[in-house]
Amino acid sequence: MAKNQVNINIYVNSMAKIFSNFLVGFAIVVTPQLGMAVEQETIGMVLGEPVYRDQLADLAEDDLHSEIYSLFVTPVLEKYLDENQKELEPTNTDINRFLLYYQKQHEKELRGKKQEMARKMESIMAELNTDSISQTRKEELIGELFFLKTELEPPGIDYAMFVLPHWKLHNHFYNRYGGGRILWQQRGVEAFDAHYKWIKEQESSGVFVFLDTNLQNKFYHYWVAQDHGTNLISDKKRITKEFLKPEWLSIRIKDKKGCFFQKNPKSAKDCKVFKRYYR
């Protein structure tokens, strides 16, 4: 091969490599409306699929963590839940203990308040039945009435299935990934350090990948630098009482003609109330 041809090949290969490196992190998308090619920046990969910059909502810094989590971690977590469904799904015993415990707690909280709440509801109903009431006032009163009726109802199956899957998952993380601190959240307790270790393990194994280190740092800021105040707990006694062995878990139940009781029910009324509450 002539020397000039060799030099040309080297030049072409070098330029191709430079151009290829320049395009890393970008995808070409053709818009069907305009038939034009638009560049999309790839910021990561999840389960072999690209994640693009324009999939991130334009959010404030405080909300960005949740958005990144939903794009990068949620698909991985859903796959993990499917693979470990038998271990992570709340059992009937879990659900029944939880419901019965919170029904009892609800009854305790309402003692001495029911009469006052009933009087308020009567007063609201009387005002709603007046002819001169304005539409704005009517809407306010209906809202108050709805709130009072909600307060009278004990937490039901929807609440149980909101809390329990989260509790089972984070118990699993805590026991499998070295324990550590916990963090109280709206949905319950997060196994803070163990959750972080699980996520890092998924990233290390290539299940998801960040191509934007700035975004990666913003995501992990939640675990490595953010101040969570008193909601972040390291005291082992509190962790045991509030998370590993919550009070509802100690409720002893037995099946008796379809009714679920505490160890020593006071009366058959416990059964009737619970049947109405659980169905």
Give the Cα separation of 192 and 189 in Å (integer): 8
Could you report the per-residue pLDDT of 231-276, keeping only the tens digit for each?
999 999 999 999 999 999 988 766 544 444 444 444 444 444 443 3
CB 216 within 8 A of CB 200: no
- Look at residue 18 and tell me whether its pLDDT is greater than 50: no
Give the Cα separation of 63 and 253 in Å (integer): 42
Dihedrals phi, psi of 125, to nearest 5 degrees: -65, -40
**How are beta strands 36-46 and 49-52 bridged, if at all?**
antiparallel
| pLDDT (mean) for 152-164 | 86
Q: Give, as one character, the DSSP assignment of residue 207.
A: S
Per-residue burial over 158-192, b if 16 or more Cβ lie within 10 Å, else e, is: eebeebbbbbbbbbbbbeebebbbbbbeeebbbbb
Model pLDDT, residue 4: 45
Could you report the per-residue pLDDT of 132-141, keeping only the tens digit for each?
888 888 888 8
Instruction: Assign 94 to helix, strand or coil.
Output: helix
| pLDDT (mean) for 22-31 | 45
If one compares 58 and 73, the residue with the highest pLDDT of the two is 73
Residue written as token pair 């909600």? 150
- The string of DSSP letters for 191-230 reads -HHHHHHHHHHHHHTTSEEES-HHHHHHHHHHHHT---GG
Return the domain boundaries, the chain: 3-58, 59-108+156-279, 112-154
Model pLDDT, residue 55: 87
| pLDDT (mean) for 193-200 | 97
Out of 12-21, 50-59, 142-151, 193-202, give the one with best mean pLDDT. Answer: 193-202
What global pTM score does this model have?
0.69
- The string of DSSP letters for 174-193 reads HHHTT---EEEETTEEE-HH
Instruction: Report the share of the chain in percent with pLDDT over 90.
Output: 44
Q: Taking the CA atoms of the chain, what radius of gyration do you get in angstroms?
A: 28
